[in-house]
Structure 1
Amino acid sequence: MGSQEVSTVDWQGKHVTVAGLGVSGIPAARALHERGALVTVVNDGGDERARAQAAELEALGITVRLGDGATLPPSTELVVTAPGWQPDKPLFLAAAEAGVPVWGDVELAWRLRGDNGRKAAPWLAVTGTNGKTTTVRMLASILEAAGLRTAAVGNIGVSLLDAVLGDTEYDVLAVELSSYQLHWAPSLRAHSAAVLNLAPDHLDWHGSMEAYAADKGRVYEGNTVACVYNVADPATEDLVREADVEEGCRAIGFTLGAPGPSQLGVVDGILVDRAFVANRQKQAQELAEVSDVDPPAPHNIANALAAAALARAFGVEPAAVRDGLRAFRPDAHRIEHVADIGEVAYVDDSKATNTHATEASLAAYDSIVWIAGGLAKGATFDELVIGAAKRLRGVVLMGADRALIHEALTRHAPEVPVVDLDRTDTGAMSEAVARAAELARPGDTVLLAPACASMDMFTNYNKRGEAFADAVRARADERA
């Protein structure tokens, strides 16, 4: 199916099983029911919230089975699943045995776009292990600066179904896609797409790094204009080579160094384009200054270049790239500067929940007191510590798996002082900030970049970042 084609399905009387209640399952069930499908929703859990959701759907005439997400209902012709459900669940094995296709919410949205009679907006898609949300939001800001009707949608929290079936008519959509979503989206064909980076993540879900990378690579399938890859991460370029794209689609690289032809990069503090210019062998187009990117950390400049590449692939003028980047403000807990106290900067990057994200965060500063720890999710920390050792003034460790980081520090940075907080209560963050302040010197950065998940101590990374920011502000108030 070509990128501009719209699929038509006769849903009337079609037996569809929706797997999972929640942010994707409920809109999917409603949309299919409205189109005449005979919908059955199955859900593993049956708690009070699930029962309330089920009651709302049943009032519409939708069948809901709580506490039974393993059995394929009789007569099922299609399964539409929430992205988090693992591929080896009995429901999907039964579907495969019966020859029943399985779609995710992204696939359903792709198939339903244009269903409301309007022209289907093209998709500019972004995936990768880290940086997806920031890049998609940067891209949307650039597209808006170009005067285009757009939205940042997908894994970013705005339902793709709502975007394609809602009342707003978009010119183009900036779409964040997770590996889970891509796994279940066999016919997705984007206008242009980017894979920002690849590092081990969600391997328990995918089964192997090869399977994880293959699912990420699906974002390039059928691209019509540009496949954007990271020059510093050859695995992303490999995925471009393996993709089956439309004739004329180009491979476009982004790099923090000087760009070659068909690349975007950085020259003397300027973001430049040697891909979408008349003579890319000899010409380069200035897009923006590094100082236009907030924050101007190396990995965030890479995000900006990827967003710029997708926007330029869509025909956006250079001035809109600059204006969009200037207007963009990052989400909370992503390299967020909290305060300066006694010539020491305090930075919240609680979103750095794996080693790949933390590596990028640590690379942004020259002298760091690092606050780290939490749930390691099977990660190892030797390479991270080796790469960061010269930048570390000191380390404060907290959380359930802090010993794993401590052992890596002992092996590879034995001269760096380490404070090991033997507590996992939420109040530990105040002590962590206090101990980090004792280690810091003027010009240093106290950086919360945990390299671990937060659930051993906090509800999520947002709460962890808020606890850090609260502790820093309380300290600033004491000093005032």
Structure 2
Amino acid sequence: MGGRDRMSHPDPARPDPATLGRHDSWHGVRAVVAGFGVSGYAAADNLLFLGADVTALDETPTDAKVEQAELLQSLGARIRIEEGATATLPDDVDVLVTSPGWRPSAPLLAQATARGIPVWGEVELAWRLRDPAHAAPWLAVTGTNGKTTTVQMLHSILEAAGLRSAAVGNVGRPIVEAVMDPEPHDVFAVELSSFQLHYTHSMAAESAVVLNLAEDHLDWYDGDWLGGEPGMSRYAADKARIYAGVERACVYNLADPALEEMVREADVVEGARAIGFTLGMPGVGSLGVVEDLLVDRAFIEERATSAAELCSVDDLASPAPHFVANALAAAALARAHGVSQQAVREGLRAFRPDGHRIALVADRDGIAWVDDSKATNPHAAMSSLLAYDSVVWVAGGLAKGARFDELVLAVRERLRGVVLLGRDREVVAEALSRHAPDVPVIDTGEGETGAPMERVVDAAAGLARPGDTVLLAPGCASMDMFANYGARGDAFAAAVRRHLEP
């Protein structure tokens, strides 16, 4: 964090970190940072800046981590990045700041809990370090799918309104870094995963949304640390944390009664409103779609008798139902913040999604090839598949404990055929066998040898007919065969282009 002088405090007292903010001395506070990725580095850097005694621990040295470690070590941090570094929590610790992917059963976290040491995520640290004089409100987004797209849409709308906004959290800059920026922001669009919410205790967003809820990360939530509670129940409870303390609006998808129940049970500031969104005609107090228009019946005075036009479906980068739903959620948060209809329209018109999200790779001989590699769980894959009438579906990878029966039941009439790859492809194959036995399935294996996407594309081309969409929407994570979902999408796109070369 360049351009700032490091604080130096001679007072040897050990204050309670729970009582401290950005303008207090953290001198004497002994902080351990678990994990030295992007958020871990940001937490360690800012704790050092505040004067804390910092130890950061990680098991996997990379060039980037080693380079960052050398910088922070020169500023007084103790950093160990090596095998075995996270086995034992140091003796003298006041607070543990964990990276979001770490399970509570990890040795450092379990030891901290047993010793009564507070465990914070980077988001919790950031909330505590807001500047009271310029405490920019947080508009918070979570859900199983669509979080990044919705936050980026929201950021685009806020900028169109002339506000100094930042997309932070699980996307963009680490939020603790953004909060500590010497140049104050007007508002933050905050993406929060269930992992981040699990380690967040005191955050109170101005407004928040849970976009949807479906099975995901059940491997993370499977373990003794749950005390016997079902993983899906704990996952949903972590998502529901986003509504705690909301000041203005709890936004939710009207299609999911479980989300309405979350809102109903939330402990919010008196006067906070429940605002639904729907792909159908909205009732009073909701946003929705009338013919081809996105409309607002929640934030206008005449909502009992009329609706305000926000934009048309044609203004959006995609007419896919889940994309329209994301736009409605972003618009609801922005409108709750006081943003005008015009800014919502301009922001949504200007927004274009990142790569690997329903991205058209090629359209040749009546067959469209679409990369939605970001669809890393069954719910995301279902949303993508429902946007097309006739599909050759490319699926498989790391299922993370998810099941595919509901997905196959919902989309089987749309499937021309299915091409499978990856370690857990058999999980998808079994659901297809149970619920869509007549759909042709080609298993291309795990890809131990050769170019897996070449085999996938060749197989898909053999199944596809004019009018079909070949859709990479794997419903699974990518790390069994690829570095990340982006690398998987790139490999698919490259294989498609090679296949279509004259």
User: Percent identity of the aligned residues?
Assistant: 60
How far 1:366 sits from its partner (Å)?
0.5
Task: List gaps (5 residues or longer) in structure 1.
Answer: 1-5
The amino acid that maps onto 1:36 is G
Please point out which of 374, 381, 406 is paired with 1:383: 406
The amino acid that maps onto 1:431 is R
Give the alignment's TM-score, normalised by structure 2.
0.90
Please point out which of 96, 106, 109 is paired with 1:89: 106
Residues in 1 aligned to 2:323 and 2:450: alpha-carbon distance in whole angstroms: 30
2:55 equivalent in structure 1: 40
Residues in 1 aligned to 2:446 and 2:85: alpha-carbon distance in whole angstroms: 39
Residues in 2 aligned to 1:91 and 1:128: alpha-carbon distance in whole angstroms: 28
Residues in 2 aligned to 1:291 and 1:28: alpha-carbon distance in whole angstroms: 42
Q: How many residues align?
A: 472
SS of residue matched to 2:220? helix
Please point out which of 460, 468, 478 is paired with 2:492: 468
Residues in 1 aligned to 2:68 and 2:341: alpha-carbon distance in whole angstroms: 47
Please point out which of 148, 166, 170 is paired with 1:155: 170
Q: Do the aligned residues in 1 keep the contact of 2:209 with 2:251 (CA within 8 Å)?
A: yes
The amino acid that maps onto 1:60 is L
Residues in 2 aligned to 1:129 and 1:391: alpha-carbon distance in whole angstroms: 23
The amino acid that maps onto 2:452 is A
Which has the larger displacement, 93-102 or 300-309? 93-102
How far 1:34 sits from its partner (Å)?
1.6
Q: Do the aligned residues in 2 keep the contact of 1:191 with 1:224 (CA within 8 Å)?
A: yes
Which has the larger displacement, 439-448 or 256-265? 439-448
Task: List gaps (5 residues or longer) in structure 2.
Answer: 1-20, 223-230
Please point out which of 71, 75, 80 is paired with 2:92: 75
Residues in 1 aligned to 2:498 and 2:114: alpha-carbon distance in whole angstroms: 59
Please point out which of 452, 462, 465 is paired with 1:438: 462
The amino acid that maps onto 1:319 is Q
The amino acid that maps onto 1:239 is M
Equivalent runs, 1:198-277 vs 2, <5 Å: 198-207=213-222, 208-277=231-300
2:396 equivalent in structure 1: 373
Equivalent runs, 1:115-154 vs 2, <5 Å: 119-154=134-169
Residues in 2 aligned to 1:422 and 1:178: alpha-carbon distance in whole angstroms: 31
Equivalent runs, 1:419-430 vs 2, <5 Å: 419-422=442-445, 424=447, 425=449, 427-430=451-454
Counterpart check, 1:16 vs 2:16: no
Residues in 2 aligned to 1:381 and 1:198: alpha-carbon distance in whole angstroms: 15
Counterpart check, 1:186 vs 2:204: no
How far 1:304 sits from its partner (Å)?
0.4
Which has the larger displacement, 266-275 or 39-48? 39-48
Pairwise CA RMSD: 1.9
How far 1:373 sits from its partner (Å)?
1.6
Q: Do the aligned residues in 1 keep the contact of 2:373 with 2:485 (CA within 8 Å)?
A: yes
Residues in 2 aligned to 1:45 and 1:443: alpha-carbon distance in whole angstroms: 47
1:309 equivalent in structure 2: 332
The amino acid that maps onto 2:129 is L
The C-alpha deviation readout for 1:383-409, integer Å capped at 9, x for no partner, is 211111100111122222222222222
Q: Do the aligned residues in 2 keep the contact of 1:8 with 1:111 (CA within 8 Å)?
A: no
SS of residue matched to 1:287? strand
The C-alpha deviation readout for 1:28-87, integer Å capped at 9, x for no partner, is 112111211112222234566655443332211112244332323223111111111111
Q: Do the aligned residues in 2 keep the contact of 1:339 with 1:473 (CA within 8 Å)?
A: yes
Residues in 2 aligned to 1:322 and 1:353: alpha-carbon distance in whole angstroms: 30
1:352 equivalent in structure 2: 375
Residues in 2 aligned to 1:92 and 1:397: alpha-carbon distance in whole angstroms: 38
The amino acid that maps onto 1:428 is P
The amino acid that maps onto 2:375 is A
Counterpart check, 1:109 vs 2:132: no
- Could you say if the C-alpha distance between residues 146 and 46 of structure 1 is closer, same or farther in structure 2, counting changes exceeding 3 Å? closer
Residues in 2 aligned to 1:70 and 1:154: alpha-carbon distance in whole angstroms: 27
Residues in 2 aligned to 1:394 and 1:235: alpha-carbon distance in whole angstroms: 33
